[in-house]
Amino acid sequence: MTKAFYVTTPIYYANSEPHVGTAYTSIVADVLARYHRLRGEEVFFLTGTDEHGQKIFRAAKEQGLTPKALADQLCPKFKELTPTLSLTNDHFIRTTDPAHEHAVKTLFSRLIASGDVYKGQYKGWYCTGCEGYVDAPADAKPTCELHGAVDWLEEENYFFRLSKYRDRILAHFKANPGFVEPTSRYNEVLNRIKGGLEDVSVSRSSFDWGVPLPGDEKHVIWVWFDALINYISGVGFPDDPERFARHWPADVHLVGKDIIWFHSVIWPCMLIAAGIEPPRKVYAHGWWTVNGDKISKTKGNVVYPRDVTAKYGVDPLRYFMLRELPFGLDGDFSLTAFTRRYNSDLGNDLGNLVNRVLALVEKHFGGVVPEQGAYEPVDAALRATFEAVVPRYEETLGRYEFSLTLEEIWKAVRHANAYVDQTKPWTLAKDPANRGRLGTVLGALCEGLRELSCLLAPFLPNVSEGIRRQIGAEGPVRLPGDLAWGGLAAGTRIAKGAPLFPRVDAP
């Protein structure tokens, strides 16, 4: 049985509408899913919403709603990310789905039976915003970096014996140096593990919004313990072992840096305790700010993906967020920077290249891709650039260096534009004796556009399809085969369309 490529986003907390920071992880997951599908692999891409816990319980109460009613109200806004961002997720999971709740109870029951869950008394600080425990003395009055003040909590809870698995998770880290990326996060988590692990409370009894604990329904299961299990419940655990075996372990969990501990320590320890293999990789990216400030409704700086895509299109937003910063680092979203990249990279570089090449083919060869003759050094140099991009494209994508992958593609875009200026096809067209040479130049440029449509397919799927439609490239993209030079046959009819990126004014 062939193992499918399995990529996940975190399941998003359904207490407010998704913003561009939320969109980022989904875009990256979609790039990986598309890339592996284009390589002929079976892929499963999972996303969804986390709908239990005290944060939603409180938010619903403030709005005079039941927690389920609030989740039902907000969940569609997260589902709308799929068309808004051109995502290709295979499933959208909700932690209120009966199948998921069944999986949570099944795993929890296993840990109770093995003795890895026991009843005790919790006393400590708790951040409702993070739905996480804060390690600080009783008299410390700590704060959360993200949410400010935290609450003191005292209640009877069930605990997971996390401390028991300290040596196992430490050995897993040392045997798998790529388990957590980027490297800075790996080292950060590893050092914290070396400092020791404490058992973690995995139930709450002060409110009732969650999955009831098997055998003691006065408790609900801690929202993080519940939420993490979505990664296996979404692929068939526990009732479809064949499907589960085909997809698990996940190839990569994509998460924000604030939840790296839950995913890289608590989650794999839960799985090891239950006799299940840990995921292969957890990749933690940075946070997005807007105009230099933390995204906040109070500050009025929330940028919603639907607003950006409605005005500028889907692919420009995907391009900006993938190109603007190395994956793993913090980034800043501003409409000034966005429109600069839109007009420069997309409009002037890529859009202008497509427009003028196809206009020249239409004008001088009746809209048919011309036959290419012998290559001169300038033509060979263009082909060499495209051929050199391919291995670097695959290497950088394999390392999740999406901004570098796009930079490699843009080396080819810029070279193609320079090639137009060097060969001057409009001058060649003035002398009938140069018609063969003109055909070689424009044929090479059409082939370059075909290759660009393939390279861009995981990143800018709509633009890729638009270019392929205009140059007459038929059928779906297949990687890496379609990246070989020479795939566009002479005689192919083009269909020049409207500009791909009409110029926009900076705000």
> Could you read off the pLDDT of 466-494 as tens digits, one per residue?
999 999 998 899 999 999 999 999 999 99
Edge-to-edge strand order for the sheet containing 151-160?
132-134, 117-127, 151-160, 200-201
pLDDT reading at 206 higher than 90: no
What number is the average pLDDT over the span 208-233? Answer: 95
Other beta carbons within 10 Å of 63: 11
pLDDT in tens, 307-318: 999 999 999 999
Q: How far apart are CA 245 and CA 234, in angstroms?
A: 12
Q: How far apart are CA 507 and CA 490, in angstroms?
A: 44
| pLDDT value of residue 123 | 67
78's CB contacts (< 8 A; 6+ apart) are 12, 14, 18, 22, 47, 48, 49, 92
| pLDDT value of residue 395 | 98
Give yes or no for a contact between 403 and 326, defined as CB atoms under 8 angstroms apart.
Answer: yes
Q: How far apart are CA 228 and CA 268, in angstroms?
A: 10
| pLDDT value of residue 461 | 98
pLDDT class for 506, splitting at 50, 70, 90? confident
| pLDDT value of residue 474 | 87
What number is the average pLDDT over the span 370-388? Answer: 98
| pLDDT value of residue 146 | 62
pLDDT reading at 143 higher than 90: no
437's CB contacts (< 8 A; 6+ apart) are 373, 428
What number is the average pLDDT over the span 117-129? Answer: 76
Q: How far apart are CA 288 and CA 5, in angstroms?
A: 27
Q: How far apart are CA 441 and CA 380, in angstroms?
A: 11
pLDDT reading at 103 higher than 80: yes
The answer for 201, left when phi > 0, alpha when psi is -120 to 50, beta otherwise, is beta
18-32, 47-61, 364-378: which has the minimum mean pLDDT?
47-61
pLDDT reading at 136 higher than 80: no
pLDDT class for 76, splitting at 50, 70, 90? very high
Pairing of strands 151-160, 200-201: antiparallel
Q: Positive or negative, the Cα torsion across 257, 258, 263, 264?
A: positive
What does the mean pLDDT of the chain come to?
94
pLDDT reading at 127 higher than 90: no
| pLDDT value of residue 406 | 98
pLDDT class for 458, splitting at 50, 70, 90? very high
106-115, 138-147, 209-218, 366-375: which has the minimum mean pLDDT?
138-147
| pLDDT value of residue 133 | 62
Q: Which secondary structure element, helix H or strand E, spans residue 304, and what is its range?
A: none
pLDDT class for 59, splitting at 50, 70, 90? confident
DSSP letters, 335-381, are HHHHHHHIIIIIIIIIIHHHHHHHHHHHHHHTTBPPPP-PPPHHHHH
What number is the average pLDDT over the span 111-134? Answer: 78
pLDDT reading at 147 higher than 60: no
pLDDT reading at 130 higher than 70: no
Please give the structure tokens belonging to residue 191: 């050092």
| pLDDT value of residue 168 | 97
Give yes or no for a contact between 403 and 415, defined as CB atoms under 8 angstroms apart.
Answer: no
3-state secondary structure of 86: coil
